[in-house]
Chain A
């Protein structure tokens, strides 16, 4: 399991726009870089990130080699109802990680 950080408020008022910041530990190896032995280091990327709010997809992103190591992505969402936000990252070599954060809407 890679270390993932999600920074967002725990509570929000209904209709408020919540800013979510996400960071995950991953090398994002581009496949263009040569290693110490002169051979190209094989590509190892996170390809997709998504955020589901109570099961409904509210944000997704496709990542390419030009995204820096340890992908950091921020976005916003509208606080509609109390629920769980599910963040998932998918990538090469079967990389898959999911994190859940509960948001209480008052």
Chain B
């Protein structure tokens, strides 16, 4: 069979499809169950938390994120913990920080890895037992975890 332009193009398309297929990681649960594990089933309200991340990520290997929680950070009313969860990395947890009244301000930042375009959730646990969250969708063009950096 001679190699025609048509067969060459379809072969190229087939290779493209193969590359898109990512290995699945069966061990990690879904995002709602990860949220439930952190909150122990308590209801999560929207607001008070601001998760700052670039909406378009060019390199998933180091993505700067900042989480700010509106709180007086007094002895009676402060943030106990902040966690960041993801939707599609091999594991749901990203980072969990524990704070207290001596933090002064509930402001943290870190650099994380993102395997693919997905949703990120930041949840704050307050000293009164309530949970607040912020959700952000990000587009990742170069994935972490799968490609070698």
Contacts of B99 in A (CB 8 A): 59, 75
Name which of A19, A33, A75 has the most chain B CB atoms within 10 A of its CB: A75
Instruction: Please determine whether A68 and B103 come into contact, CB atoms closer than 8 angstroms.
Output: no
Instruction: Please determine whether A65 and B103 come into contact, CB atoms closer than 8 angstroms.
Output: no
Cα separation A74 to B89 with both chains bound (whole Å):
23
Instruction: Please determine whether A62 and B96 come into contact, CB atoms closer than 8 angstroms.
Output: yes
Cα separation A65 to B103 with both chains bound (whole Å):
25
Contacts of A58 in B (CB 8 A): 100, 102-103
Cα separation A65 to B104 with both chains bound (whole Å):
28
Complex interface residues of chain A between 24 and 54 (CB less than 8 A to chain B)? 30, 32-33, 53
Q: Say whether B56 faces chain A, with CB atoms less than 8 Å apart.
A: no
B52 to chain A, nearest CB (A): 12
B31 to chain A, nearest CB (A): 13
Q: Say whether A72 faces chain B, with CB atoms less than 8 Å apart.
A: yes
- CB < 8 Å: which of A62, A69, A70 contacts B95? A62
Query: What residue of chain A has the Cβ atom nearest to residue B66's Cβ?
Result: A74
Instruction: Please determine whether B93 and A64 come into contact, CB atoms closer than 8 angstroms.
Output: yes
Query: What residue of chain A has the Cβ atom nearest to residue B149's Cβ?
Result: A69
Query: What residue of chain B has the Cβ atom nearest to residue A78's Cβ?
Result: B104
Name which of B97, B110, B114, B148 has the most chain A CB atoms within 10 A of its CB: B110
A46 to chain B, nearest CB (A): 11
- CB < 8 Å: which of B25, B95, B104, B148 contacts A67? B95
Q: Say whether B142 faces chain A, with CB atoms less than 8 Å apart.
A: no
Q: Say whether A63 faces chain B, with CB atoms less than 8 Å apart.
A: yes
Instruction: Please determine whether A59 and B103 come into contact, CB atoms closer than 8 angstroms.
Output: yes
Contacts of B110 in A (CB 8 A): 61, 67-68, 71-74
A77 to chain B, nearest CB (A): 6
Q: Which residues of A contact B (CB under 8 A)?
A: 17-19, 30, 32-33, 53, 56-78, 80
Closest 3 CB pairs of A and B: A17-B104, A78-B104, A68-B111
